[in-house]
Amino acid sequence: MARPQEGHGHEHDHHVGHYTHPKYTYEYKVVDPHTGDSKFQHETRDGDTVSGVYYLHDADGKTRIVEYTADPHNG
């Protein structure tokens, strides 16, 4: 009886790491008139640079707006 070959001919396959340039845009928004919950976020990434903005309504009625950027030089 013949035994099946192990490895199926893939003994010399090597995993090669590939760098993929990360790039995305992300956004979400919540407006709930029943609870008063209201918030928004928008973020983009292009390589090692991420930037975005988010806002939310605090319980005291004020709107908090935060803008941010991060890259290899500025954290």
Per-residue pLDDT of the chain (75 residues; tens, 9 = 90+): 555 555 555 555 566 777 899 999 999 999 998 988 889 999 999 999 999 999 998 878 899 999 999 999 987
Q: What's residue 46's pLDDT?
A: 97
The answer to whether position 35 is within a domain reads yes
The answer to whether position 4 is within a domain reads no
Q: What's residue 40's pLDDT?
A: 96
The answer to whether position 53 is within a domain reads yes
The structural domain count of the chain equals 1
What end-to-end distance do the CA atoms of the chain give, in Å?
A: 64
User: Cβ distance 30 to 12 under 8 Å?
Assistant: no
The answer to whether position 69 is within a domain reads no
In terms of Cβ atoms closer than 10 Å to its own Cβ (0-12, 13-18, 19+), residue 49 is middle
Q: What's residue 10's pLDDT?
A: 53
pTM listed for this prediction: 0.66
Token pair recorded at residue 55: 């806002």
The answer to whether position 68 is within a domain reads no
The answer to whether position 13 is within a domain reads no
Shortest CA distance to 51 belongs to which of 25, 16, 14, 22?
25
The answer to whether position 48 is within a domain reads yes
Q: What's residue 6's pLDDT?
A: 55
For residue 35, give its domain range.
23-60
